[in-house]
Structure 1
């Protein structure tokens, strides 16, 4: 996979077989679009779901040599590859031990660099992201389900959607799965999000078959009412399987 800056990102292994058929479009969100959202992005893409990811912070912040000396980058302007190379040059031993280089190496195999949710133009084609993992199906610039990874990110997404005024009049499920921001918990959280995505997608396929593909694919409140009504029950069943990942849900609008 070639990134926009011309570098060749490493390939990922462990993809599960693509079952084909209808797939919901997903979006994953954390503070800096580095750890939790990117692990979930990767796991969803390995399962062949259309997926994009974002951060909600004002800047991308990564741990530095001390709490008072974080590594700070701008969204949309700094690639994961350049971050990887910069931190390798600064202190390869430190950033290997704390897992940052491994994380950035994973990230640069998923997409070019961190993006900010608030800068995302919903409904605008994302044709320049063709090299991102999970890009197939997201070209139209919309998602059916947004997974956030902590409450403040969920709040930021909901507030931003409210401020946008729902110009597309399109329903979107916003689900917060609370994940501690470390590498081990991000991996567990990514698996939990994938399990929930599978359950949601199975229900969506059932309702799409029932109402007809043309109707369901209109993606309006009326055309997807039967699916939307099932989401709280699906989330409740999932929560029983993943009790250590507290979840919150709301139906919002693009």
Structure 2
């Protein structure tokens, strides 16, 4: 406030105290920026692609990947299948496998049966340990060719299957097989199903040898691939919006689809011993 010289001799009057300066504009701006960044990070972390893992019998490789995805520090919605005509597990000899039906025999039933047959044999070859892991992940093996995309899967949530939350609608964004013949079977079956949902789905194959040690390595690699894909998907939605994403349309979805081969190529450089394939198919 300007000083009035007419008050100089009054003695009883004094100038008003100066008005305090406003807070630095940078403080408010920084707070808004931090809040916006925090909201963006929260949105990116909350978004999750939905995955499907597939091997021949829904026992070893697909189940290790299912476990990894569903129990990650930031879990993914995931379902898993086999592509064989029957579930086959090693038996006393190569000509005497243990054979079960998909969709109707639980992992616990298999565990109990093999335990009663020859606990020592099936403990030593790792089958009992594998089945024990499987029954703590989901109820039992499912066959991919019997899956109806878009059919509700709410019973899997009630059964306590890991990764079931988020898959209730019966759709996935990516399918990851663990053997080339399984990839062929999945791609052929999707074509035979006729794309009833007209929804794009990325189909990968990560070639993993069918033993317990390689399955552990493959499961770790698949989790990393899923994480990279999810980061790109969240980034595209942040920049371009999520309109149409659930229907497989919109700018963000198209941009994500175009970047998937780049993501896979970068991932393959780190995992050269796990040859990969990719195609875009339709549910």
Please report the TM-score for the alignment, with normalisation by the length of structure 1. 0.91
Q: How do residues 74-93 of structure 1 correspond to structure 2 at under 5 angstroms?
A: 74-93=101-120
Runs of 4+ in 1 over 4 A off after TM superposition: none
The answer on 1:117 being equivalent to 2:144 is yes
Structure 2 gap segments, 5+ residues each = 1-43
Residue matched to 1:95: 122
The answer on 1:206 being equivalent to 2:235 is yes
Q: Deviations over 1:31-85 (max 9, x none)?
A: 0000000000000001210000000000000000000100000000100001001
The answer on 1:142 being equivalent to 2:171 is yes
Please report how far the alpha carbon of residue 219 of structure 1 lies from its aligned counterpart in structure 2 after TM superposition: 2.0
Residue matched to 2:91: 64
Residue matched to 1:12: none
Residue from 68, 73, 86 that aligns with 1:43: 68
CA contact (8 A) 1:80 1:112 kept: yes
Please report how far the alpha carbon of residue 213 of structure 1 lies from its aligned counterpart in structure 2 after TM superposition: 2.1
Structure 1 gap segments, 5+ residues each = 1-18
Residue matched to 1:29: 54
Q: Deviations over 1:120-155 (max 9, x none)?
A: 011011011001100010000010000000000000
Q: If each structure's helix is expressed as a fraction of its own residues, which one has the higher value?
A: 2
Please report how far the alpha carbon of residue 223 of structure 1 lies from its aligned counterpart in structure 2 after TM superposition: 5.3
CA contact (8 A) 1:170 1:221 kept: no
Q: What secondary structure, in the 3-state scheme, does the structure 2 residue paired with 1:76 have?
A: coil
Measure the CA separation in 1 of the matches of 2:142 and 2:210.
18
Against the structure 1 CA distance between its residues 242 and 126, is the aligned structure 2 distance closer, same or farther, given a 3 Å change threshold?
same
Please report how far the alpha carbon of residue 215 of structure 1 lies from its aligned counterpart in structure 2 after TM superposition: 3.0
Q: How do residues 160-239 of structure 1 correspond to structure 2 at under 5 angstroms?
A: 160-220=189-249, 224-239=253-268
Q: What secondary structure, in the 3-state scheme, does the structure 1 residue paired with 2:149 have?
A: coil
Measure the CA separation in 1 of the matches of 2:250 and 2:195.
12
Name the Cα RMSD after superposition: 1.1
Residue matched to 1:9: none
Count of aligned positions: 236
Measure the CA separation in 1 of the matches of 2:265 and 2:202.
15
The answer on 1:155 being equivalent to 2:184 is yes
Residue matched to 2:80: 53
CA contact (8 A) 2:241 2:252 kept: no
Measure the CA separation in 1 of the matches of 2:45 and 2:103.
32
